A and B are shown apart, each in its own frame.
Chain A
Amino acid sequence: MSLLLACLPLGLAHAAPAIALERVEILALDPGTWPARHAPLVPTQPAMQAVRLALQVQPEWRLGGSRWVLGTSVAALSVAHEAPIGGRFSWTAGVQTRLGLPNGAFAGVLMQHGVLRSGVGTSVRSDATWARPRWDHWEVLPALSLSIGRRPAGATEDTPAPSR
Chain B
Amino acid sequence: MRWAECEPGPLTCRPGLGLIWALLAVGCAPADGPVFAWQGGVAQAPANSRTAVGATLGTPDVGLHADVFLTADHQPVLWAAPQLDPEICTTADGEPVPEDTWLVQLALADLQAEYRCGGTPDPRFPDAQTRAAPVLSMDELLDLLEGFGDTPVVLSAHTVPNVSHAPEVYAAEILERWWAAGAPQDLIIAADLPSTIAAFEDRAQAQGVDLETRLIWPRVPPQGAAWLADLGTASAGAAGLDTAIVDLEAAGADGLLLRAAAADRGLVRALEARQIPALVGPVRTRLGTRQSQRWPVEGVLSAWAPDP
Footprint of B on A, CB under 8 Å? 31, 33, 35-41, 43-45, 47-48, 51-52, 55-56, 74-75, 98-99, 101, 103, 120, 127-132, 136-142, 144
A-B residue pairs in contact (CB < 8 Å), sample of 7: A36-B4, A44-B291, A98-B240, A99-B239, A129-B243, A131-B242, A137-B273
Q: DSSP class of B's interface residues: helix, strand, loop or mixed?
A: helix
Question: What's the dominant secondary structure at chain A's contact region?
Answer: mixed
Specify which chain B residues have a CB less than 8 angstroms from the CB of A103 in the assembled complex. 240
Min CB gap A109→B, angstroms: 10
Which residue of the partner chain A has the closest CB to B20?
A142
Complex Cα distance, B270 from A33, in Å, reads 14
Pairwise interchain contact A51-B231, C-beta atoms closer than 8 A: yes
> Hey, which chain B residues are within 8 Å of A38, CB to CB?
264
Of A31, A74, A137, the most chain B CB neighbours within 10 A belong to: A137
Task: Map CB proximity to A onto B213-243 as digits: 1 under 8 Å, 0 otherwise.
Answer: 0000000000000010011001100111111
Residues of B within 8 A of A75 (CB): 238-239
A137 to B239, CA, bound (A): 17
Query: In the bound complex, do residue A139 and residue B266 qualify as a contact, i.e. CB atoms below 8 Å apart?
Result: yes
Name B231's closest neighbour in chain A (CB-CB). Answer: A51
B26 interface hit (Cβ, 8 Å): yes
Contact in complex: A37, B264 (CB < 8 Å): yes
CB-nearest residue of chain A to B5? A36
> 1/0 per residue B1-44: CB within 8 Å of A?
11110000000000001001100111100000000000000000
Cβ of B274 and Cβ of A137 under 8 Å apart? yes
